[in-house]
């Protein structure tokens, strides 16, 4: 089985003193801490912090052995969706008890919600951040992209990475991955569209093998408990880490799902507002033994 740990000390988001409620990745170089690395004497002194970090991670992987790998996950929450606006408008109790199980209110639709104008602006902000830091900081761009199958993530990923100066051998062609979806609830905003809809609306995206035509996981008035979501998140991470050789990976997902992934990675709790992004340096060790029990309840 694969055991995941977060390698701390590299990003402000790893630090207990960082306030997630007011944190903005775009003002602090993605949260990368200005520090020295043991490998700094191997690189030019005028390299940027990101270049030095990239070299250090490369060294970690080169010396890690057969059963250990290090990856950097750039996890972004989708831009503001119409369901977010509706919950804020009606209030969480009324949203949970009444409005969330409907497709909309006759004026606005939030089933498999699209992103709002504000959500579009948040994704454009991320795009501008990447564009500037690719040039000024030589930030390592994702080598592989994954996205939740829900429309708000499909849209956010497209706006975030469209038109960037990416390597021709590593273009922005995201894989739509079922298990990176939001925590499954009875809310209609968590019900995805059909495979045909996703293919027609985002024809350049890859859809993972085995992706069903209809949403087989969402059921009205039913949902998964936290331990189930964490097991689902670990399954998704296991699939990625077992099949993807990339070191830098982008995952466009949701607040609840990213929170679940962070738990699986042993990262401290760090809430993301819409449009925010968190990078995590992950150590994944393949252990030849029986997996440790992760849950004691059905």
Digit-coded pLDDT (tens) for 158-174:
999 999 999 999 999 99
Is residue 140 pLDDT above 80, yes or no?
A: yes
Cα 179 to chain centroid, rounded? 12
Q: How many angstroms separate the CA atoms of 182 and 153, rounded?
A: 10
Mean pLDDT of the 190-210 span: 98
pLDDT score for 249: 98
Confidence label for 272 from pLDDT (cuts 50, 70 and 90): very high
Any idea which residues carry the catalytic annotation? 78, 182
What would the two tokens of residue 108 be?
A: 């606005």
Residue 145 burial class via C-beta count within 10 angstroms: exposed 0-12, middle 13-18, buried 19 and up: buried
Residue 51: count of CB within 10 angstroms of its CB: 16
pTM to 2 decimals? 0.96
Question: Which pLDDT does position 297 carry in this prediction?
Answer: 58
> For residue 294, is pLDDT > 70?
no
CA distance linking residue 231 with residue 209, whole number of Å: 20
Mean pLDDT throughout 217-225? Answer: 92
At 74-127, the pLDDT tens digits run 999 999 999 999 999 999 999 999 999 999 999 999 999 999 999 999 999 999
- For residue range 48-77, what is the model confidence (pLDDT) as tens digits? 999 999 999 999 999 999 999 999 999 999
Per-residue pLDDT at 295: 62
Determine the pLDDT at residue 291.
Answer: 76
State the Cα–Cα distance between residues 144 and 260, nearest whole angstrom.
21
> What sign has the CA pseudo-torsion 22, 26, 30, 32?
negative
> What mean pLDDT do residues 120-149 have?
98
The whole-number average pLDDT for the span 168-188 is 96
> Is the pLDDT score of 296 beyond 70?
no
pLDDT computed for residue 290 by the predictor: 82
Rounded to the nearest integer, the mean pLDDT of the chain is 96
**CATH superfamily of the domain spanning 2-286:** Phosphoglycerate mutase-like (3.40.50.1240)
**Percent above pLDDT 90 for the chain:** 95
Can you tell me the mean pLDDT for 121-148?
98
C-alpha–C-alpha distance, residues 226 and 289, integer Å: 26
Task: Note the pLDDT tens digit of each residue in 243-257.
Answer: 999 999 999 999 999
In this predicted structure, what is the pLDDT of residue 289? Answer: 85
């Amino acid at each position: 089985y694969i055991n995941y740990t977060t390698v701390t000390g590299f990003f402000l988001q790893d630090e207990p003193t960082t306030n997630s409620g007011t944190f903005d990745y775009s003002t602090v170089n993605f949260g990368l801490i200005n520090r020295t690395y043991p490998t700094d004497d191997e690189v030019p002194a005028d390299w940027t912090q990101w270049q030095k970090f990239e070299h250090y991670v490369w060294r970690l992987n080169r010396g890690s052995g057969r059963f250990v790998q290090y990856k950097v996950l750039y996890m972004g929450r989708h831009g503001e969706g119409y369901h977010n606006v509706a919950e804020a408008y009606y209030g969480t109790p009324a949203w949970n008890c009444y409005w969330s199980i409907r497709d909309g209110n006759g004026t606005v639709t939030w089933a498999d919600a699209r992103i709002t104008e504000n959500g579009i602006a948040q994704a454009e902000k991320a795009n501008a951040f990447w564009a500037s830091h690719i040039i000024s900081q030589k930030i390592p761009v994702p080598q592989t992209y994954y996205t939740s199958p829900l429309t708000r993530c499909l849209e956010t990923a497209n706006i975030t990475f469209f038109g960037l100066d990416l390597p021709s051998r590593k273009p922005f062609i995201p894989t739509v991955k079922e298990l990176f979806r939001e925590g499954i609830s009875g809310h209609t905003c968590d019900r995805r569209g059909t495979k045909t809809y996703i293919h027609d609306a985002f024809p350049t995206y890859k859809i993972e093998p085995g992706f069903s035509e209809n949403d087989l996981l969402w059921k009205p008035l039913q949902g998964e408990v936290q331990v189930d979501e964490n097991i689902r998140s670990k399954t998704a991470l296991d699939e990625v880490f077992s099949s993807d050789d990339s070191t830098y990976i982008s995952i466009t997902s949701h607040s609840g799902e990213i929170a679940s992934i962070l738990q699986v990675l042993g990262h401290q709790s760090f809430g993301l507002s819409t449009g925010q992004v968190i990078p995590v340096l992950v150590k994944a060790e393949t252990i030849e033994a029986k997996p440790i029990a992760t849950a004691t309840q059905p």
